[in-house]
C-alpha cells in the first residue's frame, strides 16, 4: 500500500472512518504539549480535536523531548493519525487532526521555546511519564543532582528536561511582559499539579530567586486525573488499520472505549471547553486521583509483575486466570477502597466493576512487560502510598506487599525459567547490581532494595509490619513461582 494518510488522502477515506469536523487550515496554536506519546494522542488530543469543531484557537504544537520517532511518523502525515477504539464488539476508526506540528526538542530547542513563549500559547500540557519530572518519587522534590537538571541549570537557555523548557519559556515571557501560561500535567503523579509546581518553583529559584518568586506567585498548575488504557501499537495494528483505511498510517493509536479526564479549573489565560466533550472540572482532583492511582494503576502494576512472572503476555491473559481476578478484586475491595474518601455521588463499586471488565478486554493487547516499565518511579504512588495509609490504621497489607515483592522479583532481570527479563527503568543498572549482590536470597534482596530511599523513603524500611510481609511474599515467589503463589494466596 503506497498511499499515506495525510491532508490530501482524507477525502478518499472510507465512509465509516470519522475525520476532523473543521478546517485544519483555520486552527491556531493555543496549546504546546511536551511528551507526544501514545497516551496524549489517545486522550488529551482527542478531547481537543472535539473542541476544535467549535473553537479554532486551541490547536496543539507537540514536542518529543527525546526520540524523533513520532515526528518521523506524523510529519509526512501533516500531523494526522488514526485513533482505533477497540472493544469486544469491534473497532471504530477516527482520524485526529488537533496536532498542527511535531517538534523534536533536542534538535529544535529554539523553535520549541519560541512556540512556548508565543502570547497565543496559553496552556502547556505534559505527558512525560513519572521520570520526566526529574524529581524524587518518594518526596516529590526536584532531584537537583539529576544529569538533565545539572545541565539545564548551567545552560538554562538550551534546556533538555521538561522543567528546564518550561522555566526558560516562563523566563522569556516574564521578560517580554507576556502573562505566564498554565502548566497542565497529565501524568500519574500524586497531587500532580502541586508536585509539578514544587519542581518548577525550585528549579526557577536555582536559576534566579526573582524568577522563583514569579513562578511561585503567578504560574497556575491545576491537578488532573487522566484515565484511558493505551497499549503500545503493534505491527499487526498498523497492518489492520491500513487495510481498513486504504492508506498507510505510520503510527496509529489503539485504545479502549473508556476515557476520563478530571481537571481543577484554574486557567487564568482561558482554556478549551473540554467539558462539552466529557471532561469534568472540579474544585479538588485529589479524591479522583487517589481512586485512579490506587485502584487502576496499583492493580495494573500488581497484575503486570505477577502476570509477567507467571508467563502471561497481556493483562487480558492474566485476567483469564480466576486466581488473579480474585487477587485483584480483593486488593481493590479490602486494601485500597478503605483508603479512599470520595465526594458524594462517586460510585466506587461501579468504577471497580468497570475496571475488571476493562482489564479483561481481549481486544486490547496490553502487554504486562509494557506496564512493568519504570517501576522505581511508579511504586511510590501506585502501591506505597496505600501501604502507608493502611499501616496508619494498623490494617492488612498482604496483597499490596505481594505486588511490591513481585516488583523486587521482576527487577532481578531473570524470570522463573531462567530467561532474561528486559527491565526498562531509569534505575535499572543500580537495581540489577543490588539483585546480583543478593545472589538469589530473598532476605538480602529485599533488605538492600529497602535501602533505596528514593523509592521507599525513610519510614517503610523501619516498619517490620511492611518489611516482614514483603520478605515473606518474596520468599514465596522464589520458592513456588508467581502462579502458585497467587493461586494459594490468603490475606492476613
The whole-angstrom separation of Cα 29 and Cα 47 is 15
Alpha carbon distances (Å) from 481 to 305, 308, 412, 463, 477 = 12, 11, 14, 26, 5
pLDDT in tens, 331-353: 999 999 999 999 888 899 999 99
For the segment 427-447, the average pLDDT, to the nearest whole number, is 96
List Cα–Cα distances, 12 to 73, 216, 246, 376, in angstroms: 20, 51, 8, 47
- Phi-psi domain of 307 (left: phi exceeds 0; alpha: psi -120 through 50; beta: other): alpha
pLDDT in tens, 222-257: 999 999 999 999 999 999 999 999 999 999 999 999
**Does residue 2 carry a pLDDT above 70?**
no
Distance CA(125)–CA(42), nearest Å, equals: 14
SS3 210: helix
Does residue 1 register a pLDDT over 60?
A: no
pLDDT computed for residue 346 by the predictor: 86
Whether the predicted pLDDT of 427 surpasses 50: yes
Task: Output the nine-digit C-alpha cell for 319.
Answer: 485476567
Return the biggest CA–CA distance within the chain. Answer: 65
Other C-beta atoms lying within 10 Å of the C-beta of residue 61: 24
pLDDT tens profile 142-169: 999 999 999 999 999 999 999 999 999 9
Residues present in the chain in total = 492
- pLDDT for 88 equals 85
What pLDDT score was predicted for residue 188?
87
List of E strands, 177-307: 182-185, 224-227, 253-255, 260-264, 280-282
Q: What is the DSSP string of 233-254?
A: PPHHHHHHHHHHHTSB-SS-EE
CB burial of residue 417 (10 Å; 0-12, 13-18, 19+)? exposed
Distance CA 336, CA 189 (A): 17
Q: The cell 499539579 sits on which residue?
A: 193
Residues 310, 9: Cα–Cα separation, whole Å: 45
What's the pLDDT tens digit per position in 369-421?
999 999 999 999 999 999 999 999 999 999 999 999 999 999 999 999 999 99
pLDDT at 189: 86
Stated pTM of the model? 0.86
Nearest C-alpha neighbor of 251 from the set 17, 62, 81: 81
Domains of the chain: residue spans and CATH: 7-282 (3.40.50.720), 286-487 (1.10.1040.10)
Cα 488 to chain centroid, rounded: 32
Q: Are 163 and 203 in contact (CB under 8 A)?
A: yes
Amino acid at each position: 500500500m503506497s498511499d499515506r494518510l495525510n491532508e490530501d488522502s482524507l477525502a478518499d477515506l472510507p465512509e465509516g472512518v470519522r475525520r476532523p469536523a473543521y478546517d485544519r487550515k483555520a486552527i491556531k496554536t493555543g496549546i504546546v504539549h511536551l511528551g507526544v506519546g501514545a497516551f496524549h494522542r489517545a486522550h488529551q488530543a482527542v478531547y481537543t480535536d472535539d473542541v476544535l469543531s467549535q473553537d479554532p484557537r486551541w490547536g496543539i504544537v507537540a514536542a518529543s523531548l527525546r526520540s524523533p520517532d513520532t515526528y518521523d511518523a506524523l510529519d509526512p502525515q501533516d500531523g494526522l493519525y488514526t485513533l482505533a477504539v477497540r472493544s469486544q464488539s469491534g473497532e471504530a476508526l477516527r482520524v485526529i487532526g488537533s496536532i498542527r506540528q511535531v517538534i523534536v526538542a533536542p534538535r529544535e530547542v529554539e523553535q520549541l521555546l519560541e512556540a512556548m513563549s508565543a502570547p497565543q500559547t496559553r496552556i502547556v500540557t505534559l505527558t512525560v511519564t513519572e521520570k520526566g519530572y526529574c524529581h524524587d518519587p518518594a518526596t516529590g522534590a526536584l532531584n537537583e543532582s539529576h544529569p538533565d537538571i545539572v545541565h539545564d541549570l548551567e545552560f538554562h537557555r538550551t534546556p533538555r528536561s521538561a522543567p528546564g523548557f518550561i522555566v526558560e519559556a516562563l523566563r522569556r515571557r516574564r521578560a517580554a511582559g507576556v502573562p505566564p501560561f498554565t502548566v497542565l500535567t497529565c501524568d500519574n503523579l500524586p497531587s500532580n499539579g502541586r508536585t509539578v509546581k514544587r519542581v518548577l518553583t525550585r528549579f526557577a529559584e536555582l536559576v534566579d530567586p526573582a524568577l522563583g518568586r514569579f513562578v511561585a506567585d503567578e504560574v497556575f498548575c491545576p491537578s488532573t486525573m487522566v484515565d484511558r488504557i493505551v497499549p503500545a501499537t503493534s505491527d499487526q495494528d498498523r497492518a489492520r488499520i491500513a487495510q481498513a483505511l486504504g492508506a498507510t498510517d505510520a503510527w496509529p493509536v489503539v485504545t479502549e472505549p473508556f476515557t476520563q479526564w478530571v481537571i481543577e479549573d484554574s486557567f487564568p489565560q482561558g482554556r478549551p471547553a473540554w467539558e462539552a466533550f466529557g471532561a469534568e472540572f472540579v474544585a479538588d482532583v485529589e479524591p479522583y486521583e487517589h481512586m485512579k492511582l490506587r485502584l487502576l494503576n496499583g492493580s495494573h502494576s500488581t497484575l503486570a509483575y505477577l502476570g509477567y512472572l507467571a508467563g502471561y503476555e497481556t493483562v487480558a491473559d492474566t485476567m483469564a486466570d480466576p486466581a488473579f481476578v480474585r487477587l485483584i478484586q480483593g486488593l481493590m475491595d479490602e486494601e485500597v477502597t478503605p483508603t479512599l474518601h470520595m465526594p458524594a455521588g462517586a460510585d466506587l463499586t461501579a468504577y471497580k466493576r468497570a475496571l475488571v471488565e476493562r482489564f479483561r478486554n481481549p481486544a486490547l493487547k496490553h502487554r504486562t512487560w509494557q506496564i512493568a516499565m519504570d517501576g522505581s518511579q511508579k511504586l511510590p504512588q501506585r502501591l506505597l502510598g496505600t501501604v502507608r495509609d493502611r499501616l496508619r490504621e494498623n490494617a492488612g497489607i498482604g496483597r499490596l506487599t505481594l505486588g511490591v515483592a513481585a516488583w523486587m522479583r521482576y527487577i532481578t532481570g531473570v524470570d522463573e525459567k531462567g530467561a532474561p527479563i528486559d527491565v526498562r527503568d531509569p534505575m535499572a543498572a543500580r537495581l540489577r547490581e543490588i539483585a546480583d549482590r543478593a545472589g538469589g536470597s530473598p532476605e538480602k534482596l529485599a533488605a538492600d532494595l529497602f535501602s533505596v530511599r528514593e523509592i521507599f523513603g525513610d519510614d517503610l524500611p523501619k516498619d517490620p509490619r511492611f518489611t516482614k510481609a514483603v520478605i515473606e511474599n518474596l520468599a514465596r515467589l522464589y520458592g513456588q513461582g508467581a502462579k502458585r503463589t497467587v493461586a494459594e494466596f490468603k490475606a492476613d
